[in-house]
Chains A and B, each alone.
Chain A
Amino acid sequence: MPQTVFAPWNDPDEKPLISFQGVTKRFGDFTAIDDITLGIYAREFFALLGPSGCGKTTLMRMLGGFETPSAGTILLAGQDIAPVPPNKRAVNMMFQSYALFPHLSVWDNIAFGLRREGRDKAAIAARVEEMLKLTRLEKFSHRKPHQISGGQRQRVALARSLAKAPKLLLLDEPLGALDRKLREETQFELMDIQEKTGTTFVIVTHDQEEAMTVASRVAVMDEGRLIQVATPDRIYETPDSVYVADFIGDVNIIEASARQSGDKVSLAWAEGQLPLIATTTKTFAPDQHCWLAIRPEKIAISAERPKAANALQGRILDIAYLGNISTYHVALPSGQVLKAQTANTRRIERRSFTWEDEVWISWTDTAGVLLDK
């Protein structure tokens, strides 16, 4: 373990910078945010992840001051922010549409917030130059927003929201409009900037890879509720519900009924099949309904019967070749199809399995996660 792990959420002495306490937001009789309680710590890069319409933007807009909670309180640095109007909050937002002022140059867009603070000219100029340099926009400072590319516009929006050095920066799907390569570059740029400036970032995204790449912690949302809040690796390795396991990455879900002895659980999953073995820290009642979630890359595929805790025989139904990896869809006698993934370390013509081959798939008792919901 490195000595300086950034994990304030594990430290009981740390106070969160933002704290949602039982926050609910209703539009008419529709509940967009449903009783959310959440702490976000200073210097965090916090990602809100969820399908479209689950309330991510609404949550952000409440932080920015553009919506007021119907119930509950939001504290920023220990202070209730409900009575504070947007222009008085130490929070800046980067809008989903960038919302650059079309009648102002890049320079004036970035200087806009600084001018409102009434700083003197030299200080404003220095800060704008600093921001231009940080976002590598020096050459475009005199252009209007419609005279620069989408990626540059996105950086202007970022520079503008960073210029006032807010305590908290809100980014609403900031990279949605960029193509894949530019998006990946910009993600690293964002992390770099976050580290340099020490600002707390809250980013909204519906792209799970993006959330995993940039975030210190990820909150998975669904229909206005928080489903799970954890670090990217915990979310991926130990999801606490089928919804999260399914939402993040590829996964096999096997429904079964449990029979626990100590930390080992034997799973009756199909008529006339040997039970599967899994390890868990949870407790399951006898015959409790449960789900075993296993990532495809944790399932091995072989021609001979391997010596693993769980081994099943099946037939290859389909092969998805993705370049670096291949995913085999294996049909079991029970009719269920499981996905197994292998890295393509050899050239494709020397691949050992092909369609309709009878194969064994196997995994250890610790490879999967046993879920009760």
Chain B
Amino acid sequence: MPANDGIDVDDHLGESGLDGDNAQRIYRYMLLARAISEKSWLLTRQGRVLFSMPCDGQEAADVASAYALDTGKDFIVPYARSLGAMLVKGMTAQEVMLNMFGKAADPNSGGRQMPMHWGHKKLGIISMGSSVGTTIPRASGVALASKLKGQGAVTMVYFGEGSASEGDFHEGLAFAGVHRLPVVFFCNNNGWATSVPVSLQSAEPQVSRRAEGYGFPGLTVDGLDPLTVYQAVKTAVDRARSGDGPTLVEATTIRMMPHSSSDNHLRYRSQDELDAEKESDPLPRFQNLLVSAGLLDGESDQVLRDAVDQEVESAIEYADAAPPPDPETALTGVYAP
């Protein structure tokens, strides 16, 4: 059946390697990520949460890429906008909200780091700080250990195109190429690093082309289509797992919201531009595709959305009421025993 953009939906689904069940699951994760992102934004406006970095526009890329991993075994090295990937990797809405509220039970850092600074050892999510780019060689190190230990695990590291300007990007990719490490470098190119457009990051705006310089494949995919992202990342993950080395996957996405709750994007983007971008919101697009494929209808969509909203609301309620970290603990845990 043809979808509204002319491609055959069933072919597209078939080529992606995803069956209807999995496509529906991806859609639910995307809805959940969007709902958490939107609610978190509102909570910052109400002063109940102090900071947020919205992922609106990035859900297809984050969810579908993580979906290509063996979530029980593989590692993710995230960045602040990787919420969708965190959910796929097993973080619950409740855990995310404990993190947003900086509560003691937050599995990411017990309230020590700002919201959306992910890290969850039990789930194989390697902790990130704020200093962008540092994650990239660290991901190569995690993958090196997997290789030496014969773990069979793949590591996927997420970062923005701005962060790919840090020297650590080069150093991490170079090492991974030399040692053919089981790692996937996933660049989320939303065109902006806060207020700085990608044209000011490099005279070559296509980040994936850099992979050639490190001796492994790089490709750019439509990050607004989860099926395309899944297919590309699955190939990269399989390649990594079979010992053929790294891949750099660049997903072109959009940043529908300001950089963070401290940013006002109208200082550097026009409302017209933002309105136009909203037209390519990955959520309605995937929703339409699922409807065309007979995997969703108005009623089942509403049921799904209500369930997601309920999940987020009760997570907020739980996290809001959860105890904050005990001030006494601020001095402890500087060194491992």
Decide whether A and B assemble into one complex: no
Interface residues of B (CB under 8 A from A): none
Interface residues of A (CB under 8 A from B): none
